[in-house]
Structure 1
Amino acid sequence: MDKDTWLSPEWFQISTLQSFAWENPLFLWLVIGVPLLFLLRWLMRLRFNQKLPVAVTQKDLHVSPMTLVRLLPDIFLMMALAFILVALARPQKTNEKVEQWTEGIDIMIGLDISQSMQIEDFLPNRLEAAKSVARDFIDGRLQDRIGIVVFSGDAFSLAPLTTDYTLLKSYLDEINFDMIENRGTAIGSALAVVTNRMSESETKSKVCILISDGDNTAGNIDPITAAKLAASFDIKIYTIVVGKEGLVPYGKDFFGRPNMIENTVDETTMREIAKIGGGEFFRAADNKALSQVFARIDQFEKAEIKETRFKDTSDYYYIYLQWAIAFFLVWLALKSSFISNVLQD
């Protein structure tokens, strides 16, 4: 509603009054006392004003609607006082604008796609379980650049650091065991590729999440050396070892029954990498545990979100003050007219 159109009846609508924030709401309660004040005034006049006995005949006693006109001055004065109180209550409208921003975090996910990730102690297997929790992790990030490195006997960067999360999840969907021909687990090579991708990053926080189910068995870079190189670029490394020890299902036999194979997990290297990288080591034995690990990392690595609030407050008290002045001027005019009860005054 335009502030300049103070004569508009919309200023008295319930919806308009409810939309205001009142700086001094106590004055609104005093509005109720205005008619009570005039009622008290009338009762006092009725009780204490001097009365003159006048003898009239019954036929001269009659009530005319015109006699009610003399009440108009009091009504206009009541309205003027009521609007003054509304103006003193300071009706306002506030538009609050919040601007949020964050510097974000650079995160590289190193995912093992070696043949042992086909073991089915996770559902449906270790790799698919890791891909699933990685999708959920990506969905929970805000303005962070995320990239993906895959490795088995070799390692390569599948997705560069990006905030295009839809693209990242499409890359995750395409990951399979045939992407790298060389067999084995080249953890050192994977860390070297991660470091190469993040070496030119200027963000304050750089994180690598390394997921594997075994010890380093391939590649020409020692994992410990690669971890030290990553740490020199301030890359924090979280390592996750997936898989159970003992008999685990791996493929099916001729009759469709799961083949059970003996599985061992060497945590030593992955623990040392996390220690060097200033992160944490995690062990996940099933889908639920793996989800919980990613949830913890998600809590650890939250970018600080800063916000600036702008408040634009508009006052509307003068609208009702103008109405008060208008009613007061009308009251003054009526006081000087024939409408006033001169005898009563």
Structure 2
Amino acid sequence: MIWAYPNVSLLSILAVIFSLLYAVYLYRFYIINKKLKVKTHRLFLKMGLRVLYFLLFLVALAGPSVGNATKEIKQEGKDIFIAIDLSQSMNAQDIGPSRLQRVKFELKNLVKNFSTDRIGLIIFSSEAFVQCPLTFDQNVLQLHLDGLHTNLVPNYGTDIAAPLTLAIQKFKTDENQDPKSKSIVLISDGENFGDNLNAIIDNMKEEGIRVFSLGVGTEKGSTIPKGNGIIMDKNSNGPAISKLSSNTLKRIASETNGQYFEISDDAQEIPQLITTIEKVEGTVTGSRTVEASANKYFYFLLAALGLALLDMILPLRTISM
């Protein structure tokens, strides 16, 4: 027999408490016995009944598992590149404390949900760079996420095609060529000054790479902080206003069989993004057989409850009238 919760300390404490309480009960009976005529065999019968169902409660609490069985567990693999826009517009504060700071906070929770998958990190603005290659190491990923800021990349506009091209290249040249599900989480405010998206989307479709895009910002937008001031628009000589532009992000997601999500004042769709990626069927890379046994605590619990109920509805008289 296997015990699912063999907490000896807890069981011992419960047994001691029961023993102390029952000792008080027996002492009270001893006092009564000195004054009244009591049939002791009835007391022993009642005491035996209570001890029995208390022991059954303890057995049920320990979770007895009976029988041996084997179960095949399939190991599935997903490779996920997270591409994060680090252009200056990600410092906009239409989402508090800023677009980038909010993304960093949300990504820490997202990464934790995929501890059995390989995750890589790509940063981009006008150019794209691999900040962290595909890895299972959660600590390394969290460290890189903590260090993200907009000065890590050149800022001459935003080219959404750049991180997608780099992710495709890294998927193709990865040393581990085991067949796996490949996905890209594209995070941006949607402003795009690049081109050549059509050819890149066609390439991703051929490679079976899905893009789950995450738009960050609001339609109203806000100014972009820079040092102690704000970024100015050279054309209007007024403050530059950055707004969420979701069209390109929606198109990329739709044409690669992915999905579009959003973080704004009205939408907080990170949980939906996590759920959707979890539903993506990973490629089976192997399987292993483990021993399994069924927890039979319910039968012991049911027997204990039955005896306790019998004790309540059919009380045994300990004092003869």
Q: Give the TM-score normalised by the residue count of structure 1.
A: 0.55
- Partner residue in 1 for 2:96: 123
- Partner residue in 2 for 1:310: 291
Amino acid at match of 1:268: N
Change beyond 3 A, Cα 1:296–1:95: closer
- Percent sequence identity is 27
Instruction: Give the Cα separation in 1 of the matches to 2:203 and 2:240.
Output: 36
Please list the CA deviations of residues 288-342 of structure 1 after superposition, one character each: whole Å capped at 9, or x if unmatched: 61433433334433648977443699xxxxxxxxxxxxxxxxxxxxxxxxxxxxx
1:154 paired to 2:127: yes
* SS of match in other structure, 1:121: coil
* SS of match in other structure, 1:175: coil
Alignment of structure 1 residues 213-232 onto 2, 5 Å: 213-218=189-194, 222-232=196-206
- Partner residue in 1 for 2:114: 141
- Partner residue in 1 for 2:18: none
Larger Rg: 1
Deviation at 1:232, TM superposition (A): 1.6
- Partner residue in 1 for 2:180: 204
Deviation at 1:206, TM superposition (A): 0.7
Alignment of structure 1 residues 138-287 onto 2, 5 Å: 138-200=111-173, 201-218=177-194, 222-248=196-222, 250-251=224-225, 262-286=241-265
* SS of match in other structure, 1:225: helix
Amino acid at match of 2:78: I
Deviation at 1:98, TM superposition (A): 5.8
Amino acid at match of 2:212: Y
* SS of match in other structure, 1:232: helix
Deviation at 1:249, TM superposition (A): 5.3
* Higher relative contact order, structure no. (Cα contacts within 8 Å, ≥ 6 residues apart): 2
Query: How many pairs align?
Result: 220
In structure 2, the gaps of 5 or more residues are: 2-10, 12-64, 231-237, 295-321
Amino acid at match of 2:206: S
Q: Give the TM-score normalised by the residue count of structure 2.
A: 0.59
Please list the CA deviations of residues 233-278 of structure 1 after superposition, one character each: whole Å capped at 9, or x if unmatched: 111111111110125254399799xx98644333222222112211
Deviation at 1:180, TM superposition (A): 1.0
Instruction: Give the Cα separation in 2 of the matches to 1:270 and 1:281.
Output: 7
Q: CA RMSD in A?
A: 3.4
Instruction: Give the Cα separation in 1 of the matches to 2:229 and 2:249.
Output: 37
Change beyond 3 A, Cα 1:106–1:311: closer
Change beyond 3 A, Cα 1:228–1:252: closer
